[in-house]
C-alpha cells in the first residue's frame, strides 16, 4: 500500500478529486469507496445514505450522503454508470469505513463511459496527485482553523 503524505493510497486504484477511490475489477465493473484522507478528515461516520441498486449516476453527481458528528457531506460519483451492488455491512455500520476505508467499499458500479471518464481520475506515482493532496490538506487545515475561531 502506498503512503502519500501520511495517508494510504494503494497504487492499483484510481482517485477522484472529491475523495472517492475506484478499483477496476477484472469483469469491467468498478468498486467504489471513500479515501483514507476523506474518512480521517470527516471523523467517525455516524450515518451514510447509500445509493440504491439500479440507480444511474453521473460523474461528479451525488453517490452517497455522509454524516459525522462534525460534518455532513456528499461522496461524488467518480464516473457515470449504474449502481449494481451496495455494501450491506457499510450500510448497517458506516463507521467501518473509518476502520479501513479500502476494505469497506460503498458500492459496485457498471460504468457507462469508463474509457472517456477515467482520464479525469488521479493515480499514485504522479506529481499531480501529490500536489492535489497537499492542496486538500491545506484546505482542511484552514477550515479547522477558521472553525476554532468561532
Domain ranges of the chain: 3-149
Q: Is 105 in contact with 13 (CB distance < 8 Å)? A: no
Q: Is 98 in contact with 39 (CB distance < 8 Å)? A: yes
Query: Is the model's pLDDT at 35 over the cut of 70?
Result: yes
Which CATH number among 1.10.260.40, 3.40.50.300, 3.30.1200.10, 2.40.50.100 corresponds to the domain 3-149?
A: 2.40.50.100
Mean pLDDT of 52-80: 95
- The pLDDT value recorded for residue 104 is 97
Q: How far apart are CA 79 and CA 67, in angstroms?
A: 22
Mean pLDDT of 24-49: 95
Q: What pLDDT, in 10s, does the model give residues 2-25?
A: 789 999 999 999 999 999 999 999
Rg over CA atoms, the chain: 15
Amino acid at each position: 500500500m502506498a503512503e502519500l503524505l501520511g495517508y494510504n493510497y494503494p497504487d492499483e486504484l484510481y482517485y477522484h478529486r472529491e475523495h472517492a477511490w475506484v478499483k477496476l475489477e477484472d469483469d469491467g465493473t468498478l468498486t467504489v469507496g471513500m479515501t483514507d484522507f476523506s474518512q480521517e478528515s470527516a471523523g467517525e461516520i455516524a450515518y451514510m445514505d447509500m445509493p440504491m441498486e439500479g440507480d444511474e449516476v453521473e460523474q461528479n453527481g451525488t453517490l452517497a450522503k455522509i454524516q459525522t458528528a462534525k460534518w455532513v457531506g456528499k461522496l461524488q460519483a467518480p464516473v457515470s454508470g449504474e449502481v449494481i451492488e451496495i455494501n450491506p455491512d457499510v450500510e448497517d455500520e458506516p463507521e467501518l469505513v473509518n476502520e479501513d476505508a479500502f476494505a469497506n467499499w460503498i458500492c459496485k458500479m457498471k460504468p457507462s463511459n469508463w474509457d472517456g471518464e477515467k482520464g479525469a481520475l488521479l493515480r499514485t506515482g504522479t506529481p499531480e496527485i501529490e500536489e492535489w493532496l497537499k492542496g486538500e490538506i491545506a484546505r482542511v487545515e484552514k477550515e479547522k482553523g477558521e472553525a476554532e475561531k468561532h
